[in-house]
Structure 1
Amino acid sequence: MSAIDPDTVFAEWRLADDGVWERDAARVIVVDAARRVLLVGVDVDDSARARWFTPGGGVEPRESERTAASRELFEESGLDVPPDDLAGPVAVRDAEFTYFGRPCRQHEALFHVRLDGGTALRTDGWTEVERASVADIAWWDVDELSTTETTIYPPALASLVTALLEHGWDGATRTVD
């Protein structure tokens, strides 16, 4: 991973009154026909502790969460899913974490899509920040999510995915950790 100027990293964030960097974000829970979930791995703040999470990122000014989710999914994976094909938001969460050494708070809307077609991944759309922070992108078996000791965000992802696969989305937006 390459070094990057923190001002570049936090250009789309805002500094809250409590000194925490904040932004609104949209993420996508992508599940393929083989019951695998797409996750992005980051180890920017601690190379000994990788964290895996759903693809997504910051909502740009005048952009809807749904449009941001679709755009971010394409940037990070090469998967082109139109915004109207995303269900949700199926869940929302507030996440606090350290990113590039700074305390951050992210207000996330999580959408869902089930892919039955091609799931080949591309990373040529990664931004400079993603190239500096993303260690990997990979498909994870849904059963592996509930048994791994690796840190997965959101922590409720395994149960959320299981419910979506078994019952579909019921139209309710859940608040998760």
Structure 2
Amino acid sequence: MGRRSARVLLVDARERVLLLRLAGTAGQEPLWMTPGGGVRRFESLAAAAARELWEETGLRVPAKALGAPVAWTGGHADLGWRSGYFEDHFFYHRVEAHAVDPRHREAHESQAIAEDRWWSPAELAAAAEPVAPLGLAGLLPELLAGHRPATPVRLPWHH
């Protein structure tokens, strides 16, 4: 049993994407990833993405403002706390600016998220630590140029 996740590629007016650094646990290295998380039962992907964005960053966005997903990835993984088939669906949202507010994070999110940082496309392309989803450095410039895909782009699985 895996899970479906809804995540947000949040980009500011300086064309930087927000990533959260997950602290490495035993046997795992740190990982930078987009805000987002698991889809609850009977919850739409967009509603889950909006809820997770609020919890992890303090930014409230109506689910309908997120539009349709722009990318997805999926595959099998054993993360210790859950194993099986996982899918991550990515929404794209622009803001003028946003200061991350961690006060709404669930306890496990507060423990897992070590820091947040806005990344330029150049910094993303040169990242020394792992970034998920794989392929984000190639997708971001297309989105910034206004090329929103008609159907979600399939990105490589990152586990």
Common fold by TM > 0.5: yes
Secondary structure, aligned partner of 2:143: helix
> CA offset at residue 82 of structure 1?
1.2
Structure 1 unmatched ranges of 5 or more? 1-15, 17-21
Deviation string, structure 1 residues 152-176 (Cα, Å, up to 9, x no partner):
0011001111110113313221111
In structure 2, the residue matched to 1:146 is 125
Does the 8 A contact of 1:95 with 1:108 survive in 2?
Answer: no
**Alignment of 1:161 onto 2:150:** no
C-alpha deviations, 1:53-78, integer Å up to 9, x for none? 11000001110000000110010001
Residue type at the aligned position of 2:113: V
Aligned length, in residue pairs: 156
TM-score, normalization by structure 1: 0.80
CA apart distance, 1:50: 1.3
Determine the structure 1 residue equivalent to 2:58.
78
Partner of 1:136: 115
Q: Is the 8 A contact 1:45 1:100 kept in 2?
A: no
Q: Distance in 2 between matches of 1:62 and 1:176?
A: 25
In structure 2, stretches of 5+ residues that fail to align are none
- Which aligned pairs between 1:1-177 and structure 2 lie closer than 5 A? 16=1, 22-46=2-26, 49-100=29-80, 103=83, 105-116=85-96, 118-177=97-156
- SS of 1:26's equivalent in the other structure is strand
Q: Which has the higher strand share?
A: 1
Q: Which amino acid aligns with 1:152?
A: V
Distance 2:66 2:27 in 1: 33
SS at match of 2:111: helix
Identity %: 33
- Counterpart Cα distance in 2 of 1:81 and 1:60: 18
**Per-residue deviation at 1:88?**
2.3
> How far has the Cα of 1:43 moved from its partner?
2.0
- Using the alignment, how far apart are the partners of 2:44 and 2:81 within structure 1? 28
Within 2, Cα distance between the matches of 1:107 and 1:170? 19
Cα distance change, pair 95–114 in 1 and its aligned pair in 2 (3 A): farther
CA 1:149–1:123 in structure 2 vs 1: closer, same or farther (change >3 Å)? same
